[in-house]
Chains A and B, each alone.
Chain A
Amino acid sequence: KNQVEQSPQSLIILEGKNCTLQCNYTVSPFSNLRWYKQDTGRGPVSLTIMTFSENTKSNGRYTATLDADTKQSSLHITASQLSDSASYICVVPLFSGGYNKLIFGAGTRLAVHP
């Protein structure tokens, strides 16, 4: 079954601390994996895209990793800020029925406290 699972479900950290969010997927065949950030009451915004051949990619304080062998990805946030409080969603496309359907994880809700 094509699934995307994320952990933890929620996380609370203090401002300035680092954290790592996990994503495991069983989508096959695999082409790429995306991380989205969703502020409360808003639509998701793309943070990064990891293709099959990429192991690590950084976008400012966000660093995503991908292990295609174990089908795992992580999103590491460095020196967290209050504005990092949001849900982080892992997404993997699945080519089905003639188009790329997106398989969404349930997200990790991150709260950064002062």
Chain B
Amino acid sequence: DGGITQSPKYLFRKEGQNVTLSCEQNLNHDAMYWYRQDPGQGLRLIYYSQIVNDFQKGDIAEGYSVSREKKESFPLTVTSAQKNPTAFYLCASRPERQETQYFGPGTRLLVL
């Protein structure tokens, strides 16, 4: 079963807690992305990685961190510095020499 998987589907965060969202792909894509989706707004780019061991900040990177130790995996950590983390988080990947990004099913993060 190929594609992009995200886990968990729902995640609850307590005040002051760091949480990590998982994103895995078995499509052999080099580029991977993390987006945040809020009601009534377009997707906003948090971080992206075009190759293993390299990643760049997007438009709203503050309060988030990522790693790219393996081609297949691009986890996103929402730190306690992110004061408004409640949102739908989408991971995407893109094949080399193509523009189309393929999205995972998303993780909804809620604050307790």
A interface residues (Cβ-Cβ under 8 A, vs B)? 4, 9, 32, 34, 41-46, 49, 89, 93, 97, 99-107
Given A34-B100, A99-B50, verify A42-B105 contact (CB < 8 Å): yes
B interface residues (Cβ-Cβ under 8 A, vs A)? 4, 40-45, 48, 50, 56, 88, 90, 92, 99-106, 108
Interface residues of B, dominant DSSP? strand
Quick check: B43 and A104 within 8 Å, CB to CB? yes
Interface residues of A, dominant DSSP? strand
B108 touches which one: A41, A44, A49, A105 (CB < 8 A)?
A: A41
A46 touches which one: B44, B56, B88, B100 (CB < 8 A)?
A: B100
**Complex: chain A residue closest to B33, CB-CB:** A102
**Complex: chain A residue closest to B45, CB-CB:** A101
Quick check: B42 and A105 within 8 Å, CB to CB? yes
